[in-house]
Amino acid sequence: MFEHLFAPIQIRDMELKNRIIMPAMGTRMADEKGFVTDKLIAYHAARAKGGCGLNIVEVAAVHTPSAPAHFVSISEDCYIAGHKKLTDAIHANGGKASIQLWQGSIAACMDPKAQMLVVSEMNFGGHTIPAITKEQIQEVIACYGKAAARAVEAGYDCLEFHLAHNYLPHSFLSGGLNHRSDEYGGNFENRSRFPLEVIDEIRKNMPEGMPLFIRIDAQDDMLEGGMTIDDTIRFCKLAKEHGVDVLDVSRGNIITAASMYEVPPIDVPNGFNIENAAKIRKETGMLTIGVGRINTAKLANELIENDRVDMVVMGRAQLADPEFANKACEGRIDEIVHCVGCNQGCYDGFTDVMHRPHITCMRNPMIGHESEYLMETTQAPKNVWVIGGGVGGMEAAQVLQARGHKVTLFEASNELGGEFLLAGEAPGKAEMKQAAMEMAQQTERLVTVHKNTKVDAQMIQNANVDAVIVAVGSSPIMIQLEGMDMLPHASATEILRHEVCPKGHVAVIGGGLVGLETADTLASDGCKVTILEMKDAIGSDLGSLRKISVMMKMHQLHVDMRPNSQVCKFTSEGIVLKDGSFVACDSAVFAVGFKANDSQELVEACEEKNIPCHIIGDAKKARRAIDAIAEGFEVARTL
């Protein structure tokens, strides 16, 4: 199945067993000094064991002074032994290993102790950072060569040079970032000088038969004076002459809204960058990797079959399911846990250095714990009830079943999926609804499910059950206001499900994620929409990249967004705000959040019978799906 995706490919002396690439996604799993940890080894080994053709170890710092804490480093000889353990683990599990040689420029700011090297003088955080000197340029070039030699000694099968995302090499290449007046700036030839010198230095420190990849942006989006796709093609032809074999064609930068293209959220179309990659491939004649929300085997196979690209990056697809490649190859498509581009665990988890030690995944809480959370069969099987069929309840049920417990799941409605299904009703989020439906089908194949069944205290009293997991979710908050009988109104849930379809001018009360998606639904249906948010910011509960995408959509739909707008009362002609101002509208929608459903009766019934009872997800407190799934997983893992 998917024969094009699983066809081998020869690159110099390296043969990959298939065309699936695990890209160099930052994990923050290295230790504070950049040493490879057992956690990182287990993470990569799991994807190699899962059938991935090539694992690229992420953003490995080549220059010690500018190496951020918890980023992988290969800037000194002391790191070689750890990398050797990592490549050995990948090889032992049937994969091939690459490493991405990286100098992060302003991205080093994630560690205040790391030096920031910039191509041209720039103001950053209220401070002026001087441009990198010629002496430092030569120092960094030499560091790339030494890092390449270390990577060869550590047993990597190929190397990748990171030349994208306005890290230092891309900053030199791009006219939108490089404003130097010496031989490293100005015209295209001068701007190309530094990255080509780096390529030469890397190439001379690796065997002739070892492939060299570069990760490069197809173009500079939203960056005045930046690289066009024709500039990129021109550079790639030069890179080919200097010994580069493969183009890993990405997109985005970290100083404009185009950062959303680096880790594209669900709002960005699947395969959005493929046409760029295909054009670059055609013009250069080079092996090319397609990148950009390729999260199904069907899409990946079609891209290769249709001769658009030679290989595909499937990063978050393998975060969500480390067995993705094996399942796809064996035709077990209905078992795959698909990425939905939520960005909650991968990107938001990576940047949230205060609250998360490393990345995670909404759909896979095992990330970073592959060697710790062994799903061992229980020696004491229990009869467990899971009350509630949202994603938290389904996760708990599946993990319990995998461990050998007898599981019965009860859902009060006629379908599994809970609020995840609702989230998938918003425009552009069909993947989320599909994922909820897939998870429901997987759950129903594994455990006993009773739909349209509301569990009460009497059922628990009469049951022979050893443990109960309460996952009864949450319900929309409906606030009471003066004059509510004078203006038509509905809940966000009713709008998203198209149970209520207002016309004309609609005011959405609440500017969080649900309010924004409700506004999207209404505006897409032709309504004039105003969002009223009492806080001083709209979309404060969105991750940074989703927020960029959603806000762009709001502007495209001409949605009027008004922060600091607390609703006071309704009239027959609109809404009066606390400051006395008036918003004329034909109807209103409440999107002010959700509250946990009452589970006290169930908890008390369990207490009376001394049945261990665990409350998870929104039933504990209304939050995000990543919290519900993580809690369902943790309770089931330890029960």
- What gap in Å lies between CA 631 and CA 614, rounded to an integer? 10
Q: How far from 451 is each of 444, 448, 454, CA to CA, in Å?
A: 10, 10, 8
The runs of H, that is alpha helices, within 355-409 are 391-402
Check whether 68 has a pLDDT greater than 90.
Answer: yes
Q: What is the pLDDT of residue 222?
A: 95
Q: What is the pLDDT of residue 14?
A: 98
Check whether 612 has a pLDDT greater than 90.
Answer: yes
- What gap in Å lies between CA 445 and CA 415, rounded to an integer? 14
For the chain, what is the largest distance between any 2 Cα atoms, rounded to a whole number of angstroms?
A: 83
Query: Mean of the pLDDT values across residues 500-514?
Result: 97
Check whether 478 has a pLDDT greater than 90.
Answer: no
**Residue extents of the structural domains in the chain:** 9-351, 383-476+596-638, 484-592
Do 483 and 569 form a contact (C-beta atoms < 8 A)?
yes
Check whether 488 has a pLDDT greater than 90.
Answer: yes
- What gap in Å lies between CA 292 and CA 315, rounded to an integer? 9
- pLDDT above 90 coverage of the chain, percent: 97
Q: What is the pLDDT of residue 323?
A: 98
What is 383-476+596-638's CATH topology?
Rossmann fold (3.40.50)
- What gap in Å lies between CA 539 and CA 530, rounded to an integer? 14
E-strand ranges in 363-479 read: 383-387, 406-410, 448-450, 467-470, 474-476
Q: How far from 94 is each of 22, 48, 97, 516, CA to CA, in Å?
A: 14, 6, 10, 45
Do 438 and 335 form a contact (C-beta atoms < 8 A)?
no
Check whether 354 has a pLDDT greater than 90.
Answer: no
Check whether 353 has a pLDDT greater than 90.
Answer: no
Alpha-carbon torsion 44, 336, 431, 499, what sign? negative
10 Å Cβ neighbour count for 20? 28
pLDDT digits (tens, 9 = 90+) for 168-203: 999 999 999 999 999 999 999 999 999 999 999 999
pLDDT digits (tens, 9 = 90+) for 419-434: 899 889 999 999 999 9
SS3 assignment, position 513: helix
The encoded tokens of residue 366 equal 């095992």
SS3 assignment, position 590: strand
What's at 540, amino acid-wise? Answer: S
Phi, psi at 297, each rounded to 5°:
-65, -35
Top-level CATH class of 484-592?
A: alpha beta
- What gap in Å lies between CA 52 and CA 59, rounded to an integer? 19
Nearest residue to 545 via CA among 342, 323, 246, 288: 342
Check whether 126 has a pLDDT greater than 90.
Answer: no
pLDDT digits (tens, 9 = 90+) for 220-274: 999 999 999 999 999 999 999 999 999 999 999 989 999 999 999 999 999 999 9
- pLDDT above 70 coverage of the chain, percent: 100
Q: What is the pLDDT of residue 124?
A: 84
The encoded tokens of residue 211 equal 């492939």
Do 129 and 122 form a contact (C-beta atoms < 8 A)?
yes
pLDDT digits (tens, 9 = 90+) for 540-580: 999 999 999 999 999 999 999 999 999 999 999 999 999 99
Nearest residue to 202 via CA among 245, 141, 271, 156: 141
Catalytic residues: 167
Q: What is the pLDDT of residue 293?
A: 96
- What gap in Å lies between CA 541 and CA 510, rounded to an integer? 12
Q: What is the pLDDT of residue 573?
A: 97
pLDDT digits (tens, 9 = 90+) for 433-466: 999 999 999 999 999 999 999 999 999 999 999 9
The encoded tokens of residue 296 equal 């199904």
pLDDT digits (tens, 9 = 90+) for 274-299: 999 999 999 999 999 999 999 999 99
Do 217 and 170 form a contact (C-beta atoms < 8 A)?
yes
Residue 472 exposed, middle or buried by CB count within 10 Å (0-12, 13-18, 19+): buried
Q: What is the pLDDT of residue 376?
A: 86
The runs of H, that is alpha helices, within 20-104 are 38-49, 80-92
- What gap in Å lies between CA 38 and CA 431, rounded to an integer? 34
Mean pLDDT of the chain: 96
Instruction: Decide yes or no: CATH 3.20.20.70 for domain 9-351.
Output: yes
Nearest residue to 120 via CA among 178, 174, 173, 66: 178
